[in-house]
A and B are shown apart, each in its own frame.
Chain A
Amino acid sequence: MADEMMRFTQTLGESLRERGVSRRGFLKFCTATASMMALPPTMVPAIAAALEKARRPSVIWLSFQECTGCTESLTRSHSPTVENLIFDHISLDYHHTLQAAAGEAAEAAREAAMHENEGKYLVVVDGSIPLANPGFSTIAGVSNLQMLEETVKGAAAVVAVGTCAAFGGLPHANPNPTGAVSVSDIVKDKPVVNVSGCPPIPTVITGVLAHFLTFGELPELDHLGRPMTFYGQSIHDRCYRRPFYDKGLFAETFDDEGARKGWCLYRLGCKGPMTYNACATTRWNQGTSWPVESGHGCLGCSEPNFWDTGGFYNALSIPDSDITRNIGAVVAGGVVLGAAAGALNRSKRASAAAKHETVTIDDLDKTS
């Protein structure tokens, strides 16, 4: 118990030194952390100075209407590595999928963490919150809405992990039978960071937590509440296949010459131009590859309403009407036609939404 308290009050620098990690090792750790947080290498001394003094923040992880894919993604980050070291240095006090405790003991752990770290703890949420009927999703008999409101009350900040928590995601897709909403629809008086993606890239989740651990504050956010370092540029702008788009070289099917030569997947429905995420540089599975490198277009999973945009294989600027002939002009006229494509896409999205049949709660009861 005394050891545990000691560990809790130690700074990260002290704890690494106690484990026999040299200053060189610490600097290596800081270099990898800067790289993971997508910060420039010139930030390493500042990160070292901050991490030296960093203390373990308490983290409470709440899972609402979700598929556990986000937790799967997080626990599939390289092991053991920087992310694990980070996790040795946050105190994950409640996560009902990962914790050993169950039932009342689990809920007691959450309440203890909230009480002991009042005003300082971080709440991570995956999954959307159903408002149509609180009974649709409960934990220990407590509705998701009630648990969220109660837990964020004393929090320093909230991190919405995954597109469900950030924007409503799959449960929010038409016709949204559970009345699912995002975390930021409910939490108005605390800073909320949206770490979207279905699931988000593991190092992006840990990168945001590392940023909080390192600097004690949240990173700069875009207009959708996402960290600029990871979501600041579109997939299209960072895509290594972008030169093929600029030259007008497109794959037309998944097995034609263009596909084999690795040309642009725009006409096969790639949502790269409207999607902001770090896949093109961070990649997946320990930096092995990412969807476009594997030959499949981007689904746009880190954007709001990505399920309702009318089809993963419909090109952004080529809905049902045949404007294929104009593609050459799209390439030549870049920005203007890009905007037109956006407008077409919006109208297509609206008609896709309108075509959806409405499902009532009674319909759901009938089939179950």
Chain B
Amino acid sequence: MQKLQDIAVRVEATDGLPLNHSNATPILHEILHALQRLLNEQESTTIDLRALPFGPGDEEELLNQLGTGEIRVELNSLGRSLITETAYSGVWLVDHRNADDQRIALQIEITPIPSILKAQNEDVQDAIERLEDSLNPSCTETAGP
């Protein structure tokens, strides 16, 4: 008798190739047009992969096609985020995770550098205050721990 674990749950492709539902190709075209706009009009584009009706295998196929490029950055704030440049310069994969390492957003950014990597004015202001505090400890009465 067939046991539960013997029943295949993997959806089979007909020709032995890895299964996908061909949704990666139109996104790759969208990325191509976005790259052209970036070069000619300096316009950045963000594609939210969560908003796309991908079938099993589509996301893997897209990421596979995009490949891995020269830069890989890890951001640690409210959980880990991985920002990687794909094999196509100017096409970035931004993978935001929460403290439990569950994905909370997955986006493709077509831009010279993803905006989240830039130092933010508020954080720079905070840095100035902290550095001043550490250089002049006597001047501060309310320094944090």
Residues of A within 8 A of B (CB): 17, 21-25, 27-29, 31-32, 34-36, 38, 40-42, 78-82, 85, 238-241, 243, 260-262, 280-282, 286-287, 293
Q: Which residues of A contact B23 (CB under 8 A)?
A: 240
A281 to B122, CA, bound (A): 35
> Considering only CB atoms, which chain A residue lies closest to B120 in the complex?
A23
Q: Which residues of A contact B21 (CB under 8 A)?
A: 240-241, 243
> Can you identify 23 A-B contacts, CB atoms within 8 angstroms?
A22-B122, A23-B120, A23-B123, A28-B78, A28-B81, A28-B96, A35-B48, A38-B51, A40-B48, A41-B47, A41-B107, A80-B98, A81-B99, A81-B102, A239-B53, A240-B23, A240-B56, A243-B21, A260-B8, A262-B55, A262-B56, A281-B51, A287-B50
Establish whether residues A286 and B102, one from each chain, have CB atoms under 8 Å apart when the complex forms.
yes
Report the minimal beta-carbon distance from B10 to chain A, rounded to whole angstroms. 10
A31-B116, A260-B8 provided; 19 other pairs, C-beta below 8 A? A23-B120, A24-B120, A28-B75, A28-B78, A28-B105, A31-B105, A31-B107, A32-B104, A35-B51, A42-B46, A81-B104, A82-B104, A240-B23, A261-B12, A262-B55, A282-B50, A287-B50, A287-B103, A293-B55
Report the minimal beta-carbon distance from A327 to chain B, rounded to whole angstroms. 22
Establish whether residues A241 and B51, one from each chain, have CB atoms under 8 Å apart when the complex forms.
no
Q: Does B131 contact A (CB under 8 A)?
A: no
Establish whether residues A293 and B56, one from each chain, have CB atoms under 8 Å apart when the complex forms.
yes
A40 to B47, CA, bound (A): 8
Cross-interface CB contact of B12 among A24, A260, A293, cutoff 8 Å: A260
Establish whether residues B11 and A261, one from each chain, have CB atoms under 8 Å apart when the complex forms.
yes
A40 to B49, CA, bound (A): 11
Report the minimal beta-carbon distance from A230 to chain B, rounded to whole angstroms. 11
Cross-interface CB contact of B55 among A31, A35, A241, cutoff 8 Å: A241
Which of B50, B81, B121 is most buried by chain A, counting CB atoms within 10 A of its CB? B50
Size of the B side of the interface (Cβ < 8 Å), in residues, is 39
> Considering only CB atoms, which chain A residue lies closest to B7 in the complex?
A255
Report the minimal beta-carbon distance from B57 to chain A, rounded to whole angstroms. 10
A338 to B129, CA, bound (A): 65
A31-B116, A78-B104, A81-B98 given; A280·B50 CB < 8 A: no
A27 to B8, CA, bound (A): 42
Establish whether residues A24 and B116, one from each chain, have CB atoms under 8 Å apart when the complex forms.
yes
Q: Does B40 contact A (CB under 8 A)?
A: no
Establish whether residues A24 and B77, one from each chain, have CB atoms under 8 Å apart when the complex forms.
yes
Q: Does B14 contact A (CB under 8 A)?
A: yes
Establish whether residues A32 and B96, one from each chain, have CB atoms under 8 Å apart when the complex forms.
yes
Q: Which residues of B contact A24 (CB under 8 A)?
A: 75, 77, 116, 120, 123
Cross-interface CB contact of A78 among B22, B77, B98, B126, cutoff 8 Å: B98
Q: Does B17 contact A (CB under 8 A)?
A: no
Closest 5 CB pairs of A and B: A240-B55, A25-B77, A23-B120, A41-B46, A81-B98
0/1 string, B90-128, CB within 8 A of A gives 1: 000010101110111101000000011000111100100
Establish whether residues B122 and A35, one from each chain, have CB atoms under 8 Å apart when the complex forms.
no
Q: Which residues of A contact B11 (CB under 8 A)?
A: 260-262
Report the minimal beta-carbon distance from A37 to chain B, rounded to whole angstroms. 11
Report the minimal beta-carbon distance from B119 to chain A, rounded to whole angstroms. 8
Report the minimal beta-carbon distance from A26 to chain B, rounded to whole angstroms. 8
Establish whether residues A81 and B100, one from each chain, have CB atoms under 8 Å apart when the complex forms.
yes
Establish whether residues B77 and A28, one from each chain, have CB atoms under 8 Å apart when the complex forms.
yes
Establish whether residues A41 and B55, one from each chain, have CB atoms under 8 Å apart when the complex forms.
no
Establish whether residues B104 and A35, one from each chain, have CB atoms under 8 Å apart when the complex forms.
yes
A282 to B105, CA, bound (A): 11
Establish whether residues B105 and A32, one from each chain, have CB atoms under 8 Å apart when the complex forms.
yes
> Considering only CB atoms, which chain B residue lies closest to A21 in the complex?
B78
Establish whether residues B104 and A27, one from each chain, have CB atoms under 8 Å apart when the complex forms.
no
A23 to B12, CA, bound (A): 46
Q: Which residues of A contact B54 (CB under 8 A)?
A: 240
A239 to B14, CA, bound (A): 20
Q: Which residues of A contact B8 (CB under 8 A)?
A: 260
Cross-interface CB contact of B116 among A21, A28, A262, A281, cutoff 8 Å: A28
Report the minimal beta-carbon distance from B26 to chain A, rounded to whole angstroms. 12
> Considering only CB atoms, which chain B residue lies closest to A35 in the complex?
B105
A239 to B115, CA, bound (A): 32
A78 to B99, CA, bound (A): 10
Report the minimal beta-carbon distance from B133 to chain A, rounded to whole angstroms. 15
A238 to B21, CA, bound (A): 13
Report the minimal beta-carbon distance from A83 to chain B, rounded to whole angstroms. 9
